[in-house]
Amino acid sequence: MENAPWRLVCTMPYNCHFQPSIEVEAEAGKVISFNSSNPLVLYLTPTESVTTGAGVQHHEAKNWVSGEGAIYTIPAGVTVRSVRYRETGYDTEFAGSFECNDHDYNVLWKKAARTAYICMRDHFYDCPDRERVGFWGDGTPELNQCFYVFDEKSHRLCKELVLRTLQPKFYPGQHLEFLGDYGLWFYYLQTGDLDSMRAIYEPTKTFLFETYEFGKRTWFDWGKENKDIAVIETCFYFNCLGTLKKIALATGHEADVPVIDEKLESIRGSFDEKYWKGSYYMSSQVSEPDDRANAMAVNVGLADRTKWDAIYENVLTRKTYASCFFDRWVFEALCKMNKQERALLRMAERYRTMISASFSTLGEHYDRWWASRIDAYDDASSLNHGWNPPALVLSQTIAGISPVAPGWSTYEVLPKEAFLDAIKVVVPSIKGKVTVDLKKTASEYSLALTSPAGTEAIVGIPKASFTSLREITVNGATIWKGTFSGASTGVSWAGEDADYVKFKVGHGQWTFVALGVIPITSPKPPPQPVITPRALEKKDWTATASVPDATFAFSGRKIPIDCSAANALDGDHWTGWRDKTKTQYPGQWFQIDMKKAQHFDSIVLDNSWALWDSPDKYSVSVSNDGTNWGEPIATGSGQLGITTISFASQDARYIRITQLGTSAKYHWSIYELDVFEAP
């Protein structure tokens, strides 16, 4: 119990849907309020309040909210006996997994999986806090990742999206992203649900043949401007026609195939004449080539292999216009071109601030940078946006596990691991779990596969992983030395092409070992070891700043959000201190009182929420009385998102961080501050 109103901030283990609750002892008539620490929930879910009766009582929020923390506002004279939360969400389990020797990609997979889960409930939506709109664009990667992350109960939600009535006036370009290989055919290969294909065939044909209008209310990506809509739209439409043809053949609509073929050939025959500029594809709508447009030309087969090198050199290594939604297709195009090394590097580079961020989910925009129409930081973009695809790309494309016949009757294991030396992945197919354990040394490439009953796997040993491939064995028996020997029961020859030496196996456990010369080098700096130093306990600390505690108007809704100094010490990185009086200027300071002298050697300023508000330049000073400060113990420049400040070990009670630089655009914020004990 406190003698003045106070706030209690509690953190969750991860971003989730929850209903906060509280048990108190109080007089009648006290008003308690609770909500998520995620400010975006205020778009849809107002803060709830309850009025106490007399005595001990329990209160639970009526509405679910989302986020990684809960805030309770407690009036004076109320004794808090306990606080709890009830986690809710779609009824499915995390059944898939991905691990490799590079921690960056493990973090990305887990954050993508958590993001996919928090963006599904009664339907797939873009985010759980600000909108909850069932966009087809967001729904496409959400459906895709269900089959690599969750158990079979998630397939019901996928089926709902497949059968959802098309809305031609609702961003029809997004329909094109879904009605081809990336939505409808993806679902069919994963499930073998032919009844749904029969149900959607006629509406899909009508949409493509009669309803869709080129250039009308198209939407394919936020991303940077320079969107080459003409090329992107043509590519997706071509892909949808190809999928329509496959569905026609599967559902007894063979009579439609000649018309579909005519449309396909019309696009194929004119595409290069319209858009090929000698080194890349580009329409007259833009002044420079677009990575999205050129990636899609590769993915859908309109760009033949003779053009791949030029597209790679002139566009896909130079342009990063795609958002974290559309980059999925850039990653996949790079892998199709056997540039998987570049795909992995691009993924790590573009997701850098999300990988290192303290959030358990992935955000709406790279670096929280609103990239369409305006070029500015957008603090109101969601931190849990369903269109992020890393779990899909890593499990399906990099590990190379994907069905090629409906319902996983036949599937491929064609790794594109590039510089990764070890991958262990579980894919929860409808036939059972497919597990692959891949390991590489300088002389041995090992791929262990557990394949479920009722399946046939095509396993490929990637030639790109070797400078010299000498021999392949399976379960200890030699099956290939330049040619297939057929010396092992249950293994048959599946052919050889420019990229793989391939074999077929049925269900069971298979260990392929390929011997030769394998370069074990990487253009990516080795991941830093994960070290978790001990943060000092800060629950009793206090904080002050060079400006009085205040609120700031959040987003276009002008929602008042508390930005008091104490928020930087509350353990929740969604709440923070911000100096909103003006942009950064020399002399701003933030100070903590640890209440007693502590032994420490580093400070971490977590600015993941207000990513661009890191200090331009800083100095750190310490004191034992809060009055006398010695020379700075550290100086430097802030880093985007998280700034780690290390120095010789200190023994002091007070720490002051002074902002020394200027910024014309950004304020100074600290969303969480931790001090780490010196050894």
Give me the CATH number covering residue 180: 1.50.10.10
Q: In whole angstroms, what is the distance from residue 412 CA to residue 456 CA?
A: 9
Reported as a pLDDT band with limits 50, 70 and 90, residue 110 is very high
Residue 534 in domain: no
Burial class (CB in 10 A: 0-12, 13-18, 19+), 215: exposed
Residue 455 in domain: yes
- Could you please report the per-residue DSSP string of 25-43? EE-TT-EEEEEES-GGGGG
Q: What angle do CA 365, 583, 576 make, to 5 degrees?
A: 60
Q: pLDDT by residue (tens digit) across 598-619? A: 999 999 999 999 999 999 999 9
447 near 460, Cβ under 8 Å? no
Q: Provide the pLDDT for residue 510.
A: 98
Q: Same structural domain for residues 294 and 349?
A: yes
List Cα–Cα distances, 11 to 38, 71, 83, 311, in angstroms.
Answer: 11, 9, 11, 47
User: Residue 517 CB: number of other CB atoms within 10 A?
Assistant: 11
Reported as a pLDDT band with limits 50, 70 and 90, residue 420 is very high
Q: pLDDT by residue (tens digit) across 81-100? A: 999 999 999 999 999 999 99
Q: In whole angstroms, what is the distance from residue 319 CA to residue 286 CA?
A: 13
Q: Same structural domain for residues 321 and 217?
A: yes
* Domain end marker among 88, 111, 128: 88
Whole-number percent of the chain with pLDDT over 70 = 98
* Domain end marker among 398, 420, 437: 398
* pTM over the 0.85 mark: yes
Q: Provide the pLDDT for residue 402.
A: 98
Q: To the nearest 10°, the Cα dihedral for 113, 119, 125, 126?
A: -70
Q: In whole angstroms, what is the distance from residue 82 CA to residue 289 CA?
A: 58
Reported as a pLDDT band with limits 50, 70 and 90, residue 184 is very high
Q: Same structural domain for residues 55 and 107?
A: no
User: Residue 133 CB: number of other CB atoms within 10 A?
Assistant: 13
Q: Same structural domain for residues 292 and 199?
A: yes
List Cα–Cα distances, 552 to 37, 256, 379, 630, in angstroms.
Answer: 15, 59, 12, 34
Q: Mapping DSSP to helix (H, G, I), strand (E, B) and coil, where does residue 322 land? A: coil
State the average pLDDT over residues 119-136.
95
Q: Same structural domain for residues 83 and 150?
A: no
Residue appearing with tokens 């901030």 = 9
Domain count, the chain: 4
**Closest to 652 in 3D by CA, of 670, 671, 632:** 632
The overall average pLDDT reported for the chain is: 95
pLDDT above 80 for 373:
no
Q: Same structural domain for residues 552 and 594?
A: yes
Q: Provide the pLDDT for residue 530.
A: 64
State the average pLDDT over residues 516-527.
90
Q: Same structural domain for residues 48 and 181?
A: no
Q: To the nearest 10°, the Cα dihedral for 366, 290, 212, 147?
A: -50
Q: In whole angstroms, what is the distance from residue 220 CA to residue 354 CA?
A: 23
Residue 473: CATH number of its domain? 2.60.420.10
Reported as a pLDDT band with limits 50, 70 and 90, residue 33 is very high
Residue 525 in domain: no
Q: In whole angstroms, what is the distance from residue 679 CA to residue 672 CA?
A: 22
Q: pLDDT by residue (tens digit) across 448-504? A: 999 999 999 999 999 999 999 999 999 999 999 999 998 788 999 999 999 999 999
Q: Which letter does DSSP use for residue 454 in this model?
A: T
> Residue 383: CB partners within 8 Å, gap ≥ 6?
15, 38, 40, 359, 361, 363, 364, 574, 609
Q: pLDDT by residue (tens digit) across 197-225? A: 999 999 999 999 999 999 888 889 988 88
Q: Mapping DSSP to helix (H, G, I), strand (E, B) and coil, where does residue 674 land? A: strand
User: Residue 327 CB: number of other CB atoms within 10 A?
Assistant: 28
Burial class (CB in 10 A: 0-12, 13-18, 19+), 337: buried
Residue 24: CATH number of its domain? 2.60.120.260
pLDDT above 90 for 531:
no
Burial class (CB in 10 A: 0-12, 13-18, 19+), 533: middle
Residue 603 in domain: yes
Residue appearing with tokens 């353990």 = 571
> Residue 509: CB partners within 8 Å, gap ≥ 6?
448, 449, 450, 451, 475
**Closest to 178 in 3D by CA, of 154, 162, 192, 195:** 162
Half-sphere exposure of 604 (CA within 13 A, CB side): 18
Residue 606 in domain: yes
Residue appearing with tokens 């939506």 = 125
231 near 219, Cβ under 8 Å? no
Q: In whole angstroms, what is the distance from residue 670 CA to residue 573 CA?
A: 9
Q: pLDDT by residue (tens digit) across 616-648? A: 999 999 999 999 999 999 999 999 999 999 999
Q: Which domain holds residue 128?
A: 97-398
State the average pLDDT over residues 165-190.
96
Q: In whole angstroms, what is the distance from residue 81 CA to residue 301 CA?
A: 63
Q: Same structural domain for residues 210 and 314?
A: yes
* Domain end marker among 456, 482, 517: 517
Handedness of CA 107, 109, 111, 114 (dihedral sign): negative
State the average pLDDT over residues 261-274.
98
**Closest to 52 in 3D by CA, of 80, 19, 26, 81:** 26
Q: Provide the pLDDT for residue 363.
A: 96
Residue 535 in domain: no
670 near 618, Cβ under 8 Å? no
Lowest average pLDDT, out of 92-101, 128-137, 144-153, 249-258, goes to 128-137
User: Residue 134 CB: number of other CB atoms within 10 A?
Assistant: 17
Q: How far apart are the first and last CA of the chain?
A: 36
137 near 81, Cβ under 8 Å? no
> Residue 497: CB partners within 8 Å, gap ≥ 6?
none
Q: pLDDT by residue (tens digit) across 543-573? A: 999 999 999 998 878 899 999 999 999 999 9
State the average pLDDT over residues 395-401.
98
Structure tokens at 351: 């997701």
State the average pLDDT over residues 358-365.
96
Q: Provide the pLDDT for residue 375.
A: 60
Q: Same structural domain for residues 614 and 639?
A: yes
Reported as a pLDDT band with limits 50, 70 and 90, residue 374 is low
Residue 531 in domain: no
State the average pLDDT over residues 588-593.
98
List Cα–Cα distances, 218 to 158, 230, 615, in angstroms.
Answer: 24, 10, 40
pLDDT above 80 for 526:
no
Q: Provide the pLDDT for residue 206.
A: 98
Burial class (CB in 10 A: 0-12, 13-18, 19+), 519: exposed
Residue 617 in domain: yes
Q: Same structural domain for residues 375 and 239?
A: yes
Q: Same structural domain for residues 167 and 256?
A: yes
Residue 99: in which H helix or E strand, if any? strand 97-100
pLDDT above 90 for 264:
yes
Q: Same structural domain for residues 250 and 214?
A: yes
